[in-house]
Amino acid sequence: MNRWVKSVVDIAVIVALVIATKTAIAEPYYVPSGSMEPTLQIGDELLATKYPYGYSSASLPVFVTLPESKRILGSLPRRGDVVVFRWPGDRSQIWVKRVVGLPGDRIEMKDGHLWINGAPVGLQADGVGQNESEDGSQEPVGRFIETLPGDRTHTIFKHATIGQFDNTPEVVVPNGRLFVMGDNRDNSADSRIPLEWGGVGLLPVSDLVGRVDALVGSWDMTAKSQPVWEWPAALRLSRFFTAVK
């Protein structure tokens, strides 16, 4: 009986340590969609570092879903941070986007061009990229280098056509909220789209899980339809342990 009790205690301690680590330090997540291409690809495994923004009920491991709570040891992201958060429409879902607007910022879209505080952000053409869909199909798409205030740069995809959310009225980001967008601008449900329409709306800071600093792995998800012995060839080794910016 003592051995059995000791085994149960040992397992409980291990589980508690795993949960504590995932809550306080970092937790891995898979990318299921192309909304953050080209920065993140479908099948990437990213690591969300949790301590930069403090902790709330959103910081608990993904399988634990509790109501929204205030943050402790909290701090705001920087513009340009790629963040993981619990989607306000269903807190069991984990989404990833880029922060482009902080409390007090004025955000507007004009003809697909992001404006912050009355000025257009830097945007430079960078050739053509390949937009990958969940079924593995690809299509050419315009590739641009975007420069946010503070000189933080990243790459975005943008189709040539003007879409429904390429022109939006100016929004002032209120306290406790963030404006987030996907880098794949024509394939992202983000803060341009109200929550009731399936977007993010203005993201509550309390829903932040953590900051994406690196990829720990990547796998071409279309390989699932191939024979098992071909799966290792689908590993994108060049993306393993690479920084995300």
Cα end-to-end span (Å), the chain: 53
Residues facing residue 57 across a β-bridge: none
Residue 35 is a catalytic residue? yes
Which amino acid is present at 2? N
- Answer whether 62's CB lies under 8 Å from 24's CB: no
Tokens 């709306």 locate to 201
From the number of C-beta atoms within 10 Å of its C-beta (0-12, 13-18, 19+), residue 96 rates as buried
Residues facing residue 155 across a β-bridge: 145
Tokens 């009790």 locate to 5
Active-site annotation holder among 50, 56, 59, 97: 97
Other CB atoms within 10 Å distance of the CB of residue 131: 20
- Answer whether 157's CB lies under 8 Å from 38's CB: yes
Buried/exposed code over 22-61 (b: 16+ C-beta within 10 A; e: otherwise): beeebbebebebbbbbbbbbbbbebbbbbebbbbbbbbbe
Q: Where in 26-173 does DSSP place strands (E)?
A: 26-30, 44-49, 82-86, 94-101, 106-110, 113-116, 119-120, 122-132, 138-148, 152-158, 168-172
Q: Which residues are catalytic?
A: 35, 97
